[in-house]
Amino acid sequence: MTKKETIHEMKNQHIKKHGHNGFSHTHHHGHEPGSHDSCITVVPIFNHLEGEQMEEVMKVTKSTSYKKGEVIYREGDASDSLYIVSKGKIRIYRLSESGKEQLVRILNPGDFTGELALFRESIHEAYAEAMSETDVCMISRKDLQEFLLKYPTISLKILSEFSNRLETSEKQTTRFATEKVDTRLALFLAECLEGGDGPMEIELPMSKKDLASYLGTTPETISRKLADLEDEGYIKQKTSRKIEILDLDGLLLV
């Protein structure tokens, strides 16, 4: 078996181990109220369009439902559509040659993936997996390119999202290279805070396993570091996901 075949087999085993295979998903084609409508109205790249323009987009949109744990696409699959989340959550992750998982981002309703398909024929370089019951709308490259030419404001919205993702990616890369795990975790918690004068309480947007993958460490280390931050008086863990920030200034100096 060649190295390439070995890596491919390891990745398949990773998917089977985590229960990502064996699910069926339901396809809903055509214009369905509550599926296409919510997709187009919730996503920032389309919700600024006029009613007739939105209707035009809805006509070429296909919606699909995925069960928790089901893989939407895999590394190496053809990338020829834009995927828009209308309900649920999707985790985008990569696998190293050794099979180690690296979480790239989590998509919430209104977010999209598969954007490289807009500009060229390509293959997916990551995996997309439903984190819960998830509804996704898909628009083909051909249809989307026509809309980009017809309605330039869509292009501007997509460029804005690309800019945000690039900024986040560069920030994450810099922290991996220069900051210790304690600091990466502390900064992540601080960035989860909403603005305003209310209670400084957050709910982790992902499991500790996914958080560990996102921050480049292990779940055990995340649990230990959270306990350390609590012992030092910076935070208070109320539940496994809910955390109260007690000393934001101190947290930012960790």
The CATH number of the domain holding residue 232 is 1.10.10.10
* pLDDT tier for residue 128 given thresholds of 50, 70 and 90: very high
Rounded to an integer, the average pLDDT of 96-119 is 87
Rounded to an integer, the average pLDDT of 72-95 is 93
Q: Which domain holds residue 141?
A: 3-157
Q: What are the backbone dihedrals phi and psi of residue 196, each rounded to the nearest 5 degrees, phi first?
A: 115, 180
In this prediction, what percent of the chain has a pLDDT beyond 90? 49
Contact 102, 94 (CB under 8 A): yes
Residues 190 and 124 in one domain: no
Residues 133 and 21 in one domain: yes
Q: What is the pLDDT of residue 36?
A: 57
Instruction: Provide the β-strand partners of residue 66.
Output: 134
Please tell me the total count of domains within the chain: 2
CATH number of domain containing 57: 2.60.120.10
Most confident region among 6-15, 36-45, 171-180 by mean pLDDT: 171-180
Give the CA dihedral 6, 8, 12, 18, nearest 10 degrees: 90
Q: What is the pLDDT of residue 165?
A: 86
Rounded to an integer, the average pLDDT of 32-60 is 78
Rounded to an integer, the average pLDDT of 52-62 is 90
Q: Is the pLDDT of residue 197 over 70?
A: no
Rounded to an integer, the average pLDDT of 174-197 is 86
Q: What is the mean pLDDT of the chain?
A: 83
Does a structural domain hold residue 170? no
Between 194 and 159, where is the model more confident? 159
What distance lies between CA 89 and its chain's CA centroid? 7
Residues 191 and 136 in one domain: no
Rounded to an integer, the average pLDDT of 181-206 is 85
Residues 12 and 80 in one domain: yes
Residues 94 and 151 in one domain: yes
124, 157, 190: which is the final residue of a domain?
Answer: 157
Q: What is the pLDDT of residue 27?
A: 40
Residues 239 and 116 in one domain: no
Q: Is the pLDDT of residue 29 over 80?
A: no
Q: What is the pLDDT of residue 32?
A: 42
Q: Is the pLDDT of residue 132 over 90?
A: yes
* pLDDT tier for residue 35 given thresholds of 50, 70 and 90: low
Please indicate, yes or no, whether the overall pTM of this predicted structure exceeds 0.95: no
Rounded to an integer, the average pLDDT of 57-65 is 91
* pLDDT tier for residue 20 given thresholds of 50, 70 and 90: very low
Q: What is the pLDDT of residue 224?
A: 95
* pLDDT tier for residue 73 given thresholds of 50, 70 and 90: very high
Contact 61, 36 (CB under 8 A): yes
Residues 128 and 215 in one domain: no
Rounded to an integer, the average pLDDT of 32-37 is 51
Residues 207 and 148 in one domain: no
